[in-house]
């Protein structure tokens, strides 16, 4: 199971790298592998992403101010996926988007689950290491 999670994270990393290079070269790449979407769907995704990023930044700053320490990077990515799913649902209802245009959310949910499993595994490994004694 750990190999599947790592493979999923590698695929997500590669997609982000390809999307950044494509954007710099002038090609729009939409998640998961679309190069062209309708104008309404592009506007819908823009609103969803902007709302998700705003919520994420609000949460990160609030958490930092209250606890005075940052989150691990995978936790930030996980919460961004959660906010993207929620904001996509909100704007889909608000903008009357058809259900077939929300197919990319299946991939977002899949990656969010993989990231959550990876976070839980890291927490378990950390707890186990706390109680081991090193006598040397």
pLDDT digits (tens, 9 = 90+) for 80-89: 999 999 998 8
Alpha carbon distance 132, 115 (integer Å): 26
* 42 contacts 70 by C-beta, under 8 angstroms: no
CB atoms within 10 A of CB 6: 12
Tell me, what's the pLDDT at 136?
44
Q: Is the pLDDT of residue 135 over 50?
A: no
User: By three-state DSSP, how is residue 68 classified?
Assistant: coil
Q: Is the pLDDT of residue 6 over 70?
A: yes
- The Cα–Cα gap between 85 and 108 comes to 7
Question: DSSP code of 32?
Answer: T
How many whole angstroms separate alpha carbon 123 and alpha carbon 119? 6
């Amino acid at each position: 199971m750990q190999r599947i999670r790592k493979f999923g994270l590698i695929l997500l990393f590669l997609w982000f790298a390809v999307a950044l290079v494509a954007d710099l070269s002038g090609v729009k790449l939409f998640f998961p592998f679309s190069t062209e979407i309708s104008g309404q769907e592009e506007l819908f995704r823009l609103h969803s992403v902007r709302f998700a990023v705003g919520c994420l930044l609000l949460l990160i700053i609030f958490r930092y101010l209250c606890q005075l320490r940052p989150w691990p990077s995978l936790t930030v990515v996980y919460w961004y996926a959660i906010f993207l799913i929620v904001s996509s649902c909100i704007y889909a209802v608000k903008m009357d988007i058809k259900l077939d245009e929300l197919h990319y959310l299946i991939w977002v949910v899949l990656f969010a689950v993989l990231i959550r499993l990876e976070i839980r595994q890291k927490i378990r490994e950390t707890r186990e290491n706390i109680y081991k004694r090193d006598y040397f």
